[in-house]
A and B are shown apart, each in its own frame.
Chain A
Amino acid sequence: METVVQNMINGIMMGCIYGLIALGLSMIFGVMNIVNFAHGDFVMLSMYFTFWVSSLMSVDTVATIAFTLPLLFIFGILTYYLIIHKTLRQKYITQIAVTVGLMTLLRALAQLIWKARPRALPDSIVRGTIVLGQYTVMLSRLSSALVSIAAILLVSLFMAKTWPGRAIRATSDDLDAASLMGVNYKWTFALAFGLGSALTAIAGAMLMTFQQVDPTMGLRFGLLSFCILALAGLGSTVGLLISGIIVGIAESLAMGLWDPRARSLVIYVIFVLVLWLRPRGLFGRK
């Protein structure tokens, strides 16, 4: 029983981070109906950037966000203008093709440059564990979860209160209506892409406080985000967080109680079940 609860605690914390990653994906998908297949690799990239900045500038892991956030934001915007923009008028399969190409490119480049050797950072300021009875909570994971929740709430506020945020929401709801009201859709798309990618910087940095990075991680984070996106549906930020937590718990329980290798199996089963039974997602509006 203890293992179950311990796994659940870990799962909830990881789930918050996953939720944040999925939020980035959801923002892009909601606005322009494109799933960035490379999203998981953006996370991997952020983690490598975090590693670099932290090592080169001897900055604490968490503090690297100040550098990696704008970096990923620009990266996202560049990706939009250089690669995505042109395909919007093409067949859907072409739109998928470019992000798949980007995913392949990033992953292969990462393998070339960094080889298979994982990189890890020394402990950051959020180190140590809290002990609650029989259960241990790693401070690094806890703070990651809290930071993720805070980020999600901030994004929620941004979408509700600021003009760019409302522009993004309006464009997701109805592209034509939004255009009629003066929203420049190109710019909104780029912003959504940049913002969605920037969120991976936060997740990446927090992940580096307790994990190592290797070039194959993109696959794993990709699958997780797609699953959470399907489970949550479009339209609810809180829904994404909850879905993230559900998936986090499922993954953790599968790894702890069944087999560590089973993590992707469980995620896939959830994915397929959702698409089969409720394609709109648990909290989806459309």
Chain B
Amino acid sequence: MKPGFKKLLPLLVLLVVALALPLAMLSNQYNLILLTTVILYATLASAWNIIGGMGGQFDLAAGAYLGLGAFTSGTLLIRWNITPWIGMIAGGLIAAAFALLVGYPLFRFKVREVWYALSSAALVLVLRVAFMMWEEVGGPTERYIPFHDWSLYHLRFRSYIPYYYLILIILVITLWLNHRIRNRKLGYYLLALGDNEEAAEILGVDARGSKLKALMIYAFIAGVLGGVYACLYGFIHPNFFSATISLEVAILGIVGGVGITYGPLLAALILVSGRELLRANVGGQLESLYLVIYAIVLIVIALFRPQGIGSLLQKAWEKLTTKAAEE
């Protein structure tokens, strides 16, 4: 076997497992939902990694881009029967457009990073209110997407499984994007900006342009996911603009490992499963308990292992692949 293939082998095994898992859970609806949720967050967090981990911006607007994607795709479907396959892309583009709008003034050279973080946090809040007030498209009641037993056109299925595979595909694409960005010009530029913005600029790195590229890629992915999200849930509602989801995604990104490709995936596997387990056992009364735990995990990681837990995985991975290559 070629050495390159050997390195990829464990990854392929993982992929096969990921592909087979839902089939092993056909009878357990709960596990399927859990799996789909985990993979949804893993994808969001991996996309977040592009602007957060590599771009160094603490984005708190995942919910904003998700919601925009959901509303775009959902509204197109509900009103004009346009397939979500197009709707998703439209959703992604609208989300990216918003991202451009917010990021353009804030990524100017020498504007402090904290302003983007604050703006993004506020964006979610504001979009929620705006869509609540916007009766034609949003409003306080759920807008339902017509139900279909199995429709590829409407992206509506009775089971969670097709959604799982769709999101899995998006996850793989997102991870591939992560990998590609980080090993090429944009990744180097973002890394340099993070290390020393002034030095990077005088070496020809356009700070604003680079950060905007990263932001828009992330927002696009989140928007596309939003389109899937709407079909998954079967309705759209301004609560999709959720500050909580935004926080969770950012936490997964940070805990996973700032800049490490598979970190957020690992973090999602652990934290999101943990959250669902907690919810199942403790119930609605103590909903906020998981947030308390998330917050504590975030603070602990930031204080004691700011590189995130993903780096542990990376070291283990390297040991594994070099051993395999040696054999």
Report A's interface with B, CB cutoff 8 A. 33-35, 37, 83, 86-87, 90-94, 96-98, 100-102, 104-105, 107-109, 111-112, 219, 223, 226, 230, 259, 261-262, 264-265, 267-268, 271-272, 275-276, 279
The one of A92, A262, A268 in contact with B56, judged by C-beta atoms closer than 8 angstroms, is: A92
A265: chain B residues at CB < 8 Å are: 126, 129-130, 133
- CA A107 – CA B244 in complex, angstroms? 11
Contact A275 B105 (CB under 8 A): yes
Given contacts A261-B133, A279-B115, contact A98 B243 (CB under 8 A): no
Q: Does B321 contact A (CB under 8 A)?
A: no
Interface residues of B in 106-153 (CB under 8 A from A): 106, 108, 111-115, 117-119, 121-123, 125-126, 129-130, 132-133
CB-based closest 7 A-B pairs: A105-B295, A108-B291, A101-B298, A104-B295, A276-B105, A101-B299, A111-B288
Given the known interface contacts A92-B56, A104-B291, the answer about A83 and B119 at a Cβ–Cβ threshold of 8 Å is no
CB neighbours of B112 from chain A (8 A): 33
Decide if A223 touches B122 in the complex (CB within 8 Å). yes
Assembly CA distance A255 to B111 (angstroms): 31
B234 contacts the other chain (CB 8 A): no
Q: Does B12 reach chain A (CB closer than 8 Å)? A: no
Q: Give min CB distance, B244 to chain A, whole Å.
A: 9
**Pairs A–B under 8 Å by Cβ, sample size 20:** A86-B303, A94-B258, A96-B58, A96-B113, A97-B58, A102-B299, A105-B292, A108-B295, A111-B287, A112-B292, A223-B122, A226-B122, A230-B115, A230-B118, A261-B129, A264-B125, A271-B119, A271-B122, A275-B105, A275-B115
Do A268 and B122 form a contact, CB below 8 Å, given A104-B295, A275-B105, A275-B115? yes
Quick one: which of B258, B295, B306 contacts A101, CB cutoff 8 A?
A: B295
- A272 CB contacts on chain B under 8 angstroms: 102, 105, 119
Partner of B108, one of A259, A268, A279: A279
Which of chain B's residues have a CB closer than 8 A to the CB of A259? 133
Q: Closest residue of chain A to B304, judged by CB?
A: A86
A101 partner residues in chain B, CB cutoff 8 A: 251, 295-296, 298-299, 302
Task: Return the chain A residue nearest B55 by Cβ.
Answer: A93
Q: Are B306 and A91 touching (Cβ within 8 A)? A: yes
User: Dominant SS at the B interface?
Assistant: helix
**Minimal beta-carbon separation of B207 from chain A (angstroms):** 14
> A96 to chain B: which residues have CB within 8 Å?
58, 113-114, 117
- Among B298-313, those with CB < 8 Å from A are 298-299, 302-303, 306
Is B277 in contact with chain A by the CB < 8 A criterion? no
Query: Bound complex: CA of A230 vs CA of B117, how far in Å?
Result: 13
In contact, B295 and A279 (Cβ under 8 angstroms): no
Residues of B within 8 A of A102 (CB): 295, 299
Is A93 within 8 A of B57, CB to CB?
Answer: yes
Q: Which residue of A lies closest to B300 (CB)?
A: A101
| CB <8 Å contact, B129 and A262 | yes
B298 engages A100 (CB within 8 Å): yes
Which residues of chain B are near A279, meaning CB under 8 Å?
105, 108, 111, 115
B250 touches A (CB below 8 Å) = yes
Q: Find the A residue at minimum CB distance from B114.
A: A35
Most chain A beta carbons < 10 A, residue from B56, B126, B258, B302: B302
Among residues of B, the one whose C-beta sits closest to the C-beta of A109 is B292
Residues of B within 8 A of A37 (CB): 117-118, 121
Query: What residues on B are CB-neighbors of A83 within 8 Å?
Result: 299, 303
- Pairwise interchain contact B113-A93, C-beta atoms closer than 8 A: yes
Write the chain B residue with the least CB distance to A33.
B112
Chain A, Cβ-Cβ closest to B104: A276
Other 12 A-B pairs with CB < 8 A, given A37-B117, A91-B258, A102-B295: A86-B303, A91-B306, A92-B113, A96-B114, A97-B250, A97-B254, A100-B60, A101-B296, A261-B132, A261-B133, A265-B133, A275-B105
Contacts of B126 in A (CB 8 A): 264-265, 268
A104 to B297, CA, bound (A): 11
* Complex alpha-carbon distance, A108 and B58, angstroms: 20
Cα distance, A247 to B118, chains bound together (Å): 17
Contacts of B251 in A (CB 8 A): 101, 104
Cβ-based interface call for B286 (8 A): yes
Shortest beta-carbon distance from A270 to chain B in Å: 11
How distant is the Cα of A126 from the Cα of B254 in the complex, in angstroms?
A: 47
The distance from the CB of A151 to the nearest CB of chain B, in whole angstroms, is: 24
Interface: B164 (CB within 8 A): no
Q: How far is the CB of B248 from chain A (nearest CB, A)?
A: 9
Note all chain B residues with C-beta closer than 8 A to A90: 302, 306
Nearest Cβ on chain A to B63's Cβ, whole angstroms: 13
CA distance A101 to B306 in the complex (A): 13
Interface residues of B in 279-293 (CB under 8 A from A): 286-289, 291-292
**Is B247 on the interface with A (CB-CB < 8 A)?**
yes
Interface centre among B129, B247, B299 (most CB of A within 10 A): B299
For the complex formed, measure the closest distance between the CB of B100 and the CB atoms of chain A, giving whole angstroms. 13
Look across to chain A and name the residue whose beta carbon is closest to the beta carbon of B299: A101
Query: Which chain A residues border B133 with CB–CB below 8 Å?
Result: 259, 261-262, 265
A274 to chain B, nearest CB (A): 10
**Distance between Cα atoms of A96 and B119 in the complex (Å):** 13
Cβ distance B200 to chain A, nearest Cβ, rounded Å: 14
| Alpha-carbon distance A105/B294, docked complex (angstroms) | 8
A271 to chain B, nearest CB (A): 6
Question: Once bound together, how far apart are the Cα atoms of A223 and B102, in whole Å?
Answer: 16
B194 contacts A by Cβ under 8 Å: yes
**Minimum CB–CB distance for B252 against chain A, Å:** 12
